[in-house]
Structure 1
């Protein structure tokens, strides 16, 4: 539909393509819900396509399990093997960590991310992911990046003045400084391993902003488009799980 912004983010892994549309407006929830209304403006959605024998076809239409107007689900997507990670930076729950209460609206625009897993040809939501220090306006989920057994999520509105790794998450003294959160799969369980900040303590850096996360086996890279009067910068971290 007009103004859905289909393609606002996308990710390709082998023969699987995930396409975000964070201004999609339907009020469905979950997998393959009806998408023929505009009753939840800017709730967002993700489409998954697969290439079979050189022919592309749609495999799934995905909404969050707690979809609501303005959630912006699909602003950030990344697919790896049979896992799909989706950011929704305007989710409103005040829960923290993995699979908390997604039904409340006690922390406006705190943000969330969602992991989906594919079994054979079917997708299902497996994890609802929040920051360890959820606050209103943190915008957790502005960027996501995933590789085998690890992922990183940005929160460009986060306020702490901490620097580098695992500083004071409760500090809220620097407006829109931004943060990133590093997760690992340890013996089959996803856990947040590190709280990541830039080495330079400047407000309004937008560290971890939209399309500003990347990850490899040994490094993560986080962009900060607001750094130094919007000159911008990228911060690279090595072995953040050590």
Structure 2
């Protein structure tokens, strides 16, 4: 079937490896001579075309088309007959070459057609499921970030409500006593247990033994009684003690707020 004089207007739609064209009717085709050149075969083009297209039984007008080329470098610009192959024909021809390049070209055609194939309903469902999963994962991450932010906000609010407004009243010894008392109330423990927790926290923070240091100080200075705040004041450690008590109160208050939120 001859597509007579100059009527074959081909539009190149891809040329990543081998040019693929589109005809005026929307059919995707390959230039037979360009395919022959890419296959790197030693057989002359006319012989190759007859052996791989005509002799096999491909039908002109269905599997391949012929047309006149307006320019041709070989015959000094004179028109010549050219052939285009449908993609199915080109895939078959590439496969029967039985070499690495032939298989590579065939796969190139297959990959090109996959890109043009609309997604099936099953593929769309899978894609949607993946999108939903990604949204849930992002939501979970945001919830965790919000939880951390909430904890920081509660910590700041606690320091404003329970330290700056109340425990600054009086000297540092009185302030420390009030902080330990408040800690005991918040945690439902006795006042002595609150001081015990404070000593443990102080010892951990500064790698010391606060009770032993108090006893040694009493022996050295022959004192019968010496409270913990008094000792800390005498050794200039009250500010360190206030910081430890602040952290204890902050931790206790955060736990209490989380319990309220859970209920």
Normalised to the residue count of structure 1, the TM-score between the two structures is 0.21
Instruction: Please state which structure has a larger fraction of its residues in strand.
Output: 1
Instruction: Please state which structure has a larger fraction of its residues in helix.
Output: 2
Larger radius of gyration: 2
Normalised to the residue count of structure 2, the TM-score between the two structures is 0.20
